[in-house]
Amino acid sequence: MSTSNNLYEGRNAFPFERRNYLFFLLGIALLVVGYLLMSGGGVEDPNEFSEAIFSTRRITLAPLTVMAGYGVIFYSILKRFAPEKAEG
């Protein structure tokens, strides 16, 4: 019974550890980079067609980066790290 009290320390404890938040921020950064890689490729004139929208960066690299970002966020939410020891 004392083990569960030591792990969670009551209802006022934070649901995630510091590492979870760092992984979450890393996932958000990967999402931003992925969506920035996906942007662009448009043309000013709607009657013209540009092959730039079919570049490897936009069809392969950007979606993989976005999926990796969502994967890291999913991991950060589900992973349960051991609580960090407080000094004192």
Amino acid identity for residue 27 in this structure: G
d(CA 17, CA 37): 31
Residues of the chain with pLDDT under 70: 1-12, 84, 86-88
CB 65 within 8 A of CB 30: yes
Say whether 60 sits in a helix, a strand or coil.
helix
Domain ranges of the chain: 16-78
What was the pLDDT predicted at 12? 57
**pTM of the predicted model as reported, rounded to 2 decimal places:** 0.75
- What is the structure's pLDDT at 70? 98
